[in-house]
Amino acid sequence: MGWLKNREGSRTPITLGFLSLAPVLWLLGAAGDGRFPWATIGNRGKIIFSICTATIGSLIFLLKGVGTMEANKTIDSLETRYPGVFGKGRGFSPAIALTGMSWMTGLLVGPILAGVVVEQFEFPKPQLILTLTSILTGLVAAFNLNSTVREKPGPSND
């Protein structure tokens, strides 16, 4: 994944990750729901649910690390414009801590919020919300993430 992000930048993997997750998230909500008879015959619901869960776990790697990469780019940009603004350490530790805290906060709040939503609505509706959020986030990533790739050092002309 590091090789791909170094080669292509962050835009392509993040966009593909969120857009690939969308149909899997929708299918996860359809598994075992009576409104989708094709997904309830025999053990199909359990099988679909298991495959979707494994697929989501496999696609998450496309989304990892972008927060840290974008935070570091922002720190570099601010440090270039305002030298010394972050002091001696250049602000990378707070940037990495902030992305880690954001991720952990999502892991804490996400299941709680999901439990509340599932109790208020039927199971497929939260999955539909996640599907639409994934599509929207993929589109936002496609249009807003910087996809610059680090230049390879060439031969020295000294």
| Confidence (pTM) | 0.73
DSSP state of 84: T
Distance CA 11, CA 129 (A): 23
Q: What is the DSSP string of 53-93?
A: HHHHHHHGGGTTTHHHHHHHHHHHHHHHHSTTTT-TTTTHH
Name the amino acid, one letter, at 73: K
Two structure tokens written together for 42: 């025999």
Residue 157 pLDDT > 90, yes or no? Answer: no
Residue 70, C-beta contacts closer than 8 angstroms, at least 6 positions apart: 10, 145, 146
Q: What is the pLDDT of residues 76-118, one digit of tens each?
A: 888 888 887 777 766 777 778 888 888 899 889 988 887 888 7
Contacts of 106 (CB under 8 A, 6+ apart): none
Picking from 15, 21, 95, the residue whose alpha carbon sits closest to that of residue 59 is 21
Query: Residue 150 and residue 3: Cα distance in Å, rounded?
Result: 11
C-alpha to C-alpha distance for 32 and 28, rounded to whole angstroms: 9
Q: Quick check: 133 pLDDT over 80? A: yes
